[in-house]
């Protein structure tokens, strides 16, 4: 078998699960992204592979989650009747209980473990799990559409093998479950750029959340105000995330690259586009650090398909035609989608709104340079 430079993790089994017709988390977006990649010929590139996956084992799940929580997930998953246990965050509007719930969550975790294994054991440069990125799951509680924290389980596996791991989260929501797992360790650095918890779920991720004990300085948060646009978002990434990644110098980088930051996402208030998204993906690629990429959020299905297709193309050094392939248009048009182009123009928010957002991010950057940079980069 030729060397695997990149790997795409994809299981058709995800098409058999459904959070509910009215739930914003649509697993069919995974298939839509996969179809658009195929239409662009991104499944037949040299030195890439498409890999299926197995569900994570109980032993792997218990590297983070409690036995009582896993037992309750299994019990509810097997029931023909919807159940609820709010102690474990199960059965509310965000985290509904449905038949096969545990199998779906365990398969998602297994997908991310396979991506980590390919990077660690088979020396893939990049492994991209479209399904991963359930960053809100806590040790004993489901939250924010997330039941099993696949990123933490994969990072735990890598840390057990002696790897220093950097977790970067560019989803619109704070990666609270991952931060929780590593808040007191210097073996894993977490960096999250997200919409501010002052008014936005999950209400965490402020710049003063910097870790504790040995982990002090290794949790980094950049809360962004509504109407943060491409230029402001790139400023935050360039002045905070990029130098800290270099300073921490990880063996492996794990990224959650959700696209609910986009200005047309129905659940969020940021205003970025494919422009800054592609800039960030390109900059991560240029670091040449072994890379595990996870899908994450995105509640406009076409945004998700376009962004993850662009990300996969960048990971493989492929430039795409900005017009969507006709074969893909023929598939989405009957579904009511009028999209014809892959790329967005760079977007600037309205002046008054971006002035407020810019002032907030500059204040945040100054705080991080004062508290975090001396720990990671030495005297600044």
Token pair listed for 116: 């980590």
Between CA 137 and CA 146 the distance in angstroms is: 5
Q: Which residues contact 259 (CB under 8 A, 6 or more apart)?
A: 265, 277, 296, 297, 298, 300, 303, 304, 307, 308
Residues 17/27, Cβ–Cβ less than 8 Å: yes
The catalytic residue among 23, 43, 135, 136 is 136
CA 362 to chain centre: 24
47 is catalytic: no
Between CA 55 and CA 107 the distance in angstroms is: 4
DSSP string, 304-365: HHHHHHHHHHHHTT----SBPPHHHHHHHGGGT----BS--------HHHHHHHHHHHHHHH
Among 355, 357, 352, smallest CA distance to 196 is for 357
Among 324, 258, 332, smallest CA distance to 297 is for 258
Residues involved in catalysis: 136
């Amino acid at each position: 078998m030729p060397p695997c430079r990149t790997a795409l993790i994809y299981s058709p089994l995800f098409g058999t699960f459904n959070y509910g017709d009215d739930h914003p988390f649509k697993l069919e977006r995974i298939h839509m992204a996969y179809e658009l990649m195929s239409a662009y010929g991104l499944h037949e590139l040299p030195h890439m592979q498409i890999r299926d996956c197995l569900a994570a084992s109980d032993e792997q799940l218990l590297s983070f989650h409690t036995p009582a929580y896993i037992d309750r997930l299994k019990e509810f998953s097997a029931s023909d009747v919807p159940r609820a246990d709010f102690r474990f965050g199960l059965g509310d509007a965000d985290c509904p209980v449905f038949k096969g719930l545990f199998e779906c969550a365990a398969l998602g975790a297994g997908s991310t473990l396979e991506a980590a294994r390919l990077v660690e054991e088979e020396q893939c440069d990049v492994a991209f799990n479209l399904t991963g990125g359930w960053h809100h799951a806590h040790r004993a509680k489901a939250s924010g559409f997330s039941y099993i924290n696949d990123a933490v389980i994969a990072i735990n596996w890598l840390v057990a093998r002696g790897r220093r791991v950097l977790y970067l989260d560019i989803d619109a929501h704070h990666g609270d479950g991952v931060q929780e797992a590593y808040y007191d360790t210097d073996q894993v650095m977490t960096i999250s750029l997200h919409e501010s918890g002052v008014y936005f779920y999950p209400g965490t991720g402020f710049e003063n959340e910097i870790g504790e004990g040995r982990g002090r300085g290794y949790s980094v948060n950049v809360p962004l105000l509504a109407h943060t646009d491409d230029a402001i978002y790139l400023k935050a990434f360039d002045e905070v995330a990029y130098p800290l990644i270099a300073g921490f110098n990880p063996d492996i980088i794990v990224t959650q690259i959700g696209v609910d930051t986009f200005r047309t996402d129905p659940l969020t208030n940021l205003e970025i586009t494919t422009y800054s998204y592609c800039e960030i993906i390109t900059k991560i690629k240029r670091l040449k650090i072994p890379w595990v990429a996870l899908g994450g959020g995105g509640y406009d299905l076409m945004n998700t398909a376009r962004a993850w297709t662009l990300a996969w193309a960048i990971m493989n050094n492929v430039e795409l035609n900005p017009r969507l392939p006709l074969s893909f248009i023929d598939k989405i048009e009957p579904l009511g989608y009028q999209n014809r182009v892959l790329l967005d123009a760079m977007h600037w928010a309205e002046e008054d709104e971006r002035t407020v957002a810019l002032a907030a991010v500059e204040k945040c950057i100054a705080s991080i340079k004062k508290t975090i940079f001396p720990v990671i980069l030495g005297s600044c």
